[in-house]
Amino acid sequence: MKKHHMRRAFFVTLVIALILCCFLAPYAWIVASSFKNQLTLFNDVTPLSWKAFLPVGGTIENYQSLFKRTNVLTALANTAIVAGGQVALTLLLCSMAAYSLTRVSFPGAKIVFVLILLTFLLPIEALMVPLYQVVSGLGLSNTLLGVMIPWVASPFGLFLLKQAFEELPVELEDAARIDGAGHVRIFFSIVLPNVKVPMLTLGLITFLFSWNSFLWPLVIVQDPANQVIQVAIAQQGSPTQLPNWGETFAGATVATLPLILLFLLLQKYFTQGMTTSGIKG
Amino acid sequence: MADVSLKKVGKTYENASANTIEDLSLDIRSGEFVVLVGPSGCGKSTTLRMLAGLEELSEGEIWIANRRVDELEPRDRNIAMVFQNYALYPHMTVAQNMSFGLRLAGMDKAEIRRRVEEAAKLLDIAPLLDRRPKQLSGGQRQRVAMGRAMVRDPAVFLFDEPLSNLDAKLRGQMRAEIRRLHKRLKATTVYVTHDQVEAMTLADRVVVLNKGKIEQQGTPQELYERPATRFVAGFIGSPTMNFLPAKVVTESTRPALRIGEATIPVPAHKAETVLQRVGQDIEIGLRPEHFLVDGPADLSATIDMAELLGPTTLVHFTLAGMTCSAMLPPELAAPEGEVQSLRIAFDRMSIFDPKTGHAL
């Protein structure tokens, strides 16, 4: 029996390790390639060898030229501002909307909620042109606010938080009313502190979405001074020359590092939020 | 302390087919402990929530301390409420939970600390002040919820089934504690429960609600001994009252009741009422302790089941086609399958009109 269990555990571990390798391999390749010159990089993948995944013959030239030649630092700062702002605005807006839809009864509340959820079904690409027209119309094209503003009203965030609010006993709010708190005080002092995990989860997902967004910033921002990191990496080469892949990978590594650090710090809340909200990926 | 008055209060929900509360009037004296009791859906919690200001009235008025309050916010009514699930703020410590209302009211910090410490001492939760609710047992949470109500020094305490989530032993302890606190604080208290034992043991006055209306109100003893309706008779008392169909007959010009094969006399104080119903069907109500084993037997029955409860034995038998139970001394109760001779304490029985359910 014990032997059987050990064999099963070994098999499971092996499968997990294989899946992990599948997920890690592209990242390992990107990081390793960021330390190679163009020639070594191509030699290691034609034919594909184990060297492709290790920084063999490492050089930091790619990083040196990336920071010297491109506006990657400005783009990083822009991305941090956009992602941070988007997180703050999304949390504020979604939590207030979800709370109203959960606790305030008004005619058509269910229809409003279903309509909001239906926007899930629209692919981002289909929204680009109308969004561009609206954001340009508001005079926000080429601005960081224009990059973040269309996404702060997140149907996913509303759904996630509505579920969290529904699980919160309404008696907490009743008790607070008797204690003398008004709606705003109840919302900020009683309700929000008790949905910390879903809020952190939404914050993290929004940050990831914002940090990795490419298409919308490419459409709405033309000024390099206001460009975000993903677009800056893609545009770092000259249109008339072959891309410098080592530099591109260095940029990708730099762009990924903050996300990895953030995820390592908050992964507990991320998994908790996903499992308690019933949204399992 | 304050008088509380509900005047023709009504509550109708938009989607409900009938009124939840209808024309409910109730006067509660200052310092009185009133228990609203009734089955699920009878409107007792809704009444309490309207009193607290958590539900709007559809009609009527609520007065607290000679001030009309039904248009006021809960915070302006000078009340405090203890909830069924305690409703302690999970992210705050016990001390923060207790002081939240006082802090919102802008009370002086030293005064807040004094009040919290005093209440904590009284409720024996002083060592728990820095803990969070999840670190407390059910009984401790209950005490904290009471402490939160106490520190506000309200005119009226409202309790919404506060002991429902506790086990039987703790429930008994907390019941005694609440009673003791009420005696000490002498605050007007309105307490909602579906547990008639809680109602009987705690209340100065019990108000029995049924389908949104007051069925009867009075002291626990009045309700137990002189139920106004069959509903109250069946709801109050555990084990429940036995109801038997009977026919009014005359025996040597005196009224008597025929219950199955047995004919029993009518107590003198009920004779006149019953005499007007000769030949009609009525229903009699006998509490389990109204069956006695001493003296001349009025009837005999085969015991279907006997349950030893310690100081008494609860025997079950069939009488006039109805299952009855009687509370007998263990040493005199017949074992299962044997015949038990029983005397009935006629003077204590209740008589009901089977059509209206009202006591005769």
On whether both A45 and A89 belong to a single domain, the answer is no
Q: Residue A42 falls within a domain, yes or no?
A: yes
| Minimum CA–CA partner of A190 in chain B | B89
A171: chain B residues, CB-CB within 8 Å:
83-85, 87
Fold that domain B4-235 belongs to in CATH: Rossmann fold (3.40.50)
User: Could you tell me the residue range of the domain that residue A103 belongs to?
Assistant: 73-276
Does A280 score more than 50 pLDDT? no
**Placement of tokens 């506000």 in the chain:** B152
A140 plus A9 within the same structural domain: no
Last residue of a domain, one of A18, A35, A59: A59
Closest residue, chain A, to B85 (C-alpha): A171
Total count of domains within chain A: 2
Decide if A66 is inside a domain.
no
Which residue is listed with tokens 């991320």?
A270
A8-32: average pLDDT: 92
Let me know if residue A195 belongs to a domain.
yes
- Which residue is it, tokens 């007792």? B44
SS3 B340: strand
A248-264: per-residue pLDDT in tens? 899 999 999 998 888 88
> Does residue A281 fall inside a structural domain?
no
Whole-number pLDDT of residue A238: 66
Between B180 and B252, the higher pLDDT residue: B180
Task: With CB atoms and an 8 Å threshold, state whether A178 touches B79.
Answer: yes
Q: What's the CATH fold of domain B242-352?
A: OB fold (Dihydrolipoamide Acetyltransferase, E2P) (2.40.50)
Give CA–CA dist A191/B351, Å, rounded: 54
Residue B17: the pLDDT is 63
Do A246 and A125 share a structural domain?
yes
Query: Does A68 map to a domain?
Result: no
DSSP 3-state of B48: helix
Q: Look at residues B281, B225, B272, B297 and name the one whose alpha carbon lies nearest to residue B249.
A: B281
A42 and A86 both lie in a single domain: no
Selected for mutation to probe chain B from A179, A187, A195, A199 (highest B CB count within 10 Å) is A179
Q: How far apart are CA B43 and CA B169, in angstroms?
A: 28
Q: Which residues of B touch A175 (CB under 8 A)?
A: 81, 83, 87-89, 148
Judged by a CB distance cut-off of 8 A, whether residue B85 touches chain A is yes
- The pLDDT score that the predictor gives to residue B140 is 92
**CATH number where A209 lies:** 1.10.3720.10
Within 13 Å and on the Cβ side, how many CA atoms surround A227? Answer: 20
Domain boundaries, chain B: 4-235, 242-352
Whether A117 and A252 map to the same domain: the answer is: yes
Residues 159-198 of A with CB under 8 A from B: 169, 171-172, 174-181, 185, 190, 193-194, 196
Quick check: A180 and B87 CB within 8 A?
Answer: no
| Full DSSP string of B340-356 | EEEEE-GGG-EEE-TTT
Sign of the CA dihedral running A37, A40, A46, A51? negative
pLDDT tens column, B257-275 = 888 777 887 878 778 888 8
Q: Judge whether A161 lies within some domain.
A: yes
**What residues does B339 pair with on adjacent strands?**
B302
Higher pLDDT, A109 or B129: B129
Instruction: Give the pLDDT band (50/70/90) at residue A276.
Output: low
- Clarify whether residues A107 and A209 are in a common domain: yes
A136 and A31 in a common domain: no
Please tell me if the domain spanning B4-235 has the same topology as the one spanning B242-352: no
User: What ipTM does this complex have?
Assistant: 0.84
Q: Are A18 and A150 part of one and the same domain?
A: no
pLDDT tens-digit map of B98-119: 999 999 999 999 999 999 999 9
pLDDT band (50, 70, 90) for residue A281: very low
Same domain, yes or no, for A164 and A139?
yes
Same domain, A187 and A241: yes
Is A130 domain-assigned? Answer: yes
- Residues near A87 by Cβ (< 8 Å), separated by ≥ 6? A203, A206, A207, A210
Residue A64 within a domain: no
**Same structural domain, A159 and A260:** yes
